[in-house]
A and B are shown apart, each in its own frame.
Chain A
C-alpha cells in the first residue's frame, strides 16, 4: 500500500508541477488517512509551503439525510479554492454519491478552475453517477453485496484493503 500511495503522489506531481495553483483536499472521515499520507509523500518532493492541504466534510450535502442522520466531521479549508486546481482525495470510489456531494460542497466554497479525483480503491462497474477517478491506486471488481474497506495503521492498527462478503 505504501508503494501505491507513493506512486499516486508522484502521479499528482507529474500533472501539477510544484503544485503551482493546485490544492489537495481529503474527504472526511476516511479519505483523510489517504490524503495525510499523500501529503507527507509530496512534502518530500516539493517545498513545504507550496502545499495547500485541507479537509472537507460532506455530511450536510448527502442525498440520504432522510434515511440516516450522520455525525458531521470537521471541514478545515483555510485557503480559497477560487480559480485553483483541486485534487479531491478519498479512500474508496463506489457509487460516486460521496463525490457528487463533495462537488456540491466545493462549489459552495468557491469556483475551482478544475477538479480531479484521486482514490486508493476504485470499485469499477458499480457507479450510480457519471463520475470517474483521475488517479487510481487499484481497481477492484466487486459486486453490490460486498463491502470494500480500507484499514489504516493510524486508525485501525494495520494498513490493509479487504473485501467483506
Chain B
C-alpha cells in the first residue's frame, strides 16, 4: 500500500486511503518520538531542501526536526539573504539546488499554486508547506491526527473552524480533509471573512454566531487573524473582533460539554483567543505542535521512495 500521489501539494488531491495511511504511519512515528533515542535511520540517503519564501516558525522547525529524526540530510533556504533579491526566478533557484542532487523539496510560498507550478517542471518530490491562501496540507493532517487522538475518530465528529476563513489556507485544507473523512464542518466568522459560496462549494455549514457555533461543535479550531493579509478593512478593529468572535472562558463554561480547543498558531492572544482559553485544560494547541513532527515524518517517509521511481 502506498500513496496515490508523488507530491503532497494539497489535501484536495488525496484520497481517503491516502489520508488514513498518513495518519496511521504518523502513529508509529509518534511512538519513535517517545523513545530515548528519537531518531531512525530510514532516510539516510535522502537529501531535502526546505525552501521558505515566507516566514514561519512552527512549520519550518517541525519539518526540519522531522527530517533530522529520519536521518535525512537537510538544507535550509529562505528568500531573504539569497539570490532571490538579485532577481533569480523560482524555477531557476530550484533547478540550481536540484542540480546538487537533492531528492525532495519542502516549500512555503506566498503565491497560491507555486508548488503546483514546480511539480510540473522538476523531477523531485514536492511537499507544500503552505502556499498563499490555497492549502497547508500538513497542518490539516496534524490537526486531523490530533482530533483523532483526542476524540477517537473523525467520522461524524463536529468540527467548527472559527475566524478568517477567507484568507486561511489552514481552513481550506482542513475542510477538504475533514469532509473526505466524514466529519461535519461549520465555519464561523464575520461575513466579510467568509467566502460567499463556501457552503455549496466545499459542503460546509456557515454560521455567523459564535455562541451557536460553540453549542453545535465537538472541536473548535480557532484561526489566527492574519494581519499581514488584511490589505482592506474587513472588520472595524481588533478589539471589536475580540468582543464578537474571540473565544472567551465564560462562553466555554456556558456550553454544557467540553469542547476541544485548537489553534494552528501563531496565536494573537486577546484577539481570536483569550489567554485563559489558550492555556486551559481543553486546549490541545501544544499537542498539535508535538504531533506535527510525527505527521511530517510520515509524509516524508511515504513520499521518499516515490521520487526515485522515475530515475
Contacts and interface: CB of A to CB of B under 8 A. Distances in A.
Interface of A: 57, 59-62, 65-69, 71-76, 104, 108-110
18 contacts: A57-B28, A60-B32, A60-B70, A61-B40, A61-B42, A62-B42, A65-B42, A66-B305, A66-B308, A68-B305, A69-B302, A69-B304, A69-B305, A71-B24, A71-B25, A104-B41, A108-B37, A108-B40
Nearest to B25: A72
B35 A108 contact: yes
B28 A69 contact: no
B305 A109 contact: no
A62 B32 CA distance: 15
B35 A69 contact: no
Interface in B19-62: 21, 24-25, 27-29, 31-32, 35-37, 39-43, 45
Nearest to B37: A108
A142 B70 CA distance: 36
User: Chain B: interface residue count, which band?
Assistant: 20 to 34
B306 interface: yes
A65 B304 contact: yes
Contacts of A74: 27-28, 31
Interface in B204-226: none
A68 B41 CA distance: 15
A60 B40 contact: yes
Nearest to B32: A60
B301 interface: yes
Nearest to A68: B305
A61 B39 CA distance: 10
